């Protein structure tokens, strides 16, 4: 796969995560190593990665995720995205590897005003992790619903108070392949050349 293919076909994989095929932890290590190359504020390297393979811990985190998902999406209907997300919520604890990209925040409290530089010190790396996983033949999903119960996950994993979670990325072998670029809004809707322009109705 060339870079463009990796960049355009790294999808949020939920139903096609292989729950039964073990993942080589060394491949996950390599993906995190690649992710560490992402830019980060002040070159402080404030990110930290929790990689969960232990089945008991995965199940505990999965229970928190499912409860948070159910609370948030109780009335979400039965659309394709919700069904896919529900499937993942029901199986989160069974995904072979759960990866939590985190960031160390002094005192564990985010400052008032823009938090872009803090999150910018971990989220680009989290995306690099997903790209690296895709390039290595794995599949993953960017999820955040558990953050509604971030403290519960922190307690399960023994996280210090200054470690805040940015995402929860279940990682597995994909069932099949054939991931394709997603349909996105026309470029003219999102790209403003020189000055802000309202999209034509």
Ligand X SMILES: Cc1cc2nc3c(=O)[nH]c(=O)nc-3n(C[C@H](O)[C@H](O)[C@H](O)COP(=O)(O)O)c2cc1C
Binding residues for ligand X, rule: CB under 6 A, are 11-12, 14, 81, 85, 88, 141-145, 182
The label of the residue with tokens 């409860």 reads 67
Q: How far is the CB of 12 from ligand X (least distance, A)?
A: 3
**Residues forming beta bridges with residue 47, ordered by sequence position:** 103
Q: Which is nearer to ligand X, 49 or 65 (CB)?
A: 65
CA 80, chain centre distance (Å): 20
**Residues forming beta bridges with residue 18, ordered by sequence position:** 173
* Cα(53)–Cα(171) distance, integer angstroms: 10
Q: Closest Cα to residue 144, out of 72, 50, 53, 59?
A: 72
Backbone angles phi, psi at 81, to 5 degrees: -65, -40
- Runs of H (alpha helix) within 36-79: 55-72
């Amino acid at each position: 796969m060339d870079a463009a293919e990796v960049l355009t076909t790294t999808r949020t994989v939920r139903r096609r995560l292989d729950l039964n095929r073990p993942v080589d932890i060394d491949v996950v290590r390599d993906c995190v190593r690649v992710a560490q190359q992402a830019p980060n504020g002040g070159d402080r390297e404030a990110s930290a990665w929790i990689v969960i393979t232990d089945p008991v811990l995965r199940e505990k985190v999965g229970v928190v995720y499912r409860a948070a998902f159910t609370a948030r999406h109780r009335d979400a209907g039965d659309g394709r995205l919700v069904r896919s997300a529900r499937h993942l919520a029901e199986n989160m604890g069974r995904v072979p590897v759960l990866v939590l990209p985190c960031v160390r925040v002094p005192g564990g409290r985010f400052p008032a005003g823009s938090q872009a530089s803090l999150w910018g010190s971990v989220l680009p790396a989290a995306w690099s992790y997903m790209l690296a996983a895709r390039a290595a033949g794995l599949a993953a999903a960017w999820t955040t619903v558990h953050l509604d119960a971030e403290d519960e996950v922190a307690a399960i994993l023994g996280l210090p108070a200054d470690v805040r979670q940015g995402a929860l990325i279940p990682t597995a072998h994909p069932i099949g392949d054939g991931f394709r670029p997603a349909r996105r809004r026309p470029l003219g809707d999102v790209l403003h050349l020189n000055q802000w322009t309202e999209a034509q109705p």
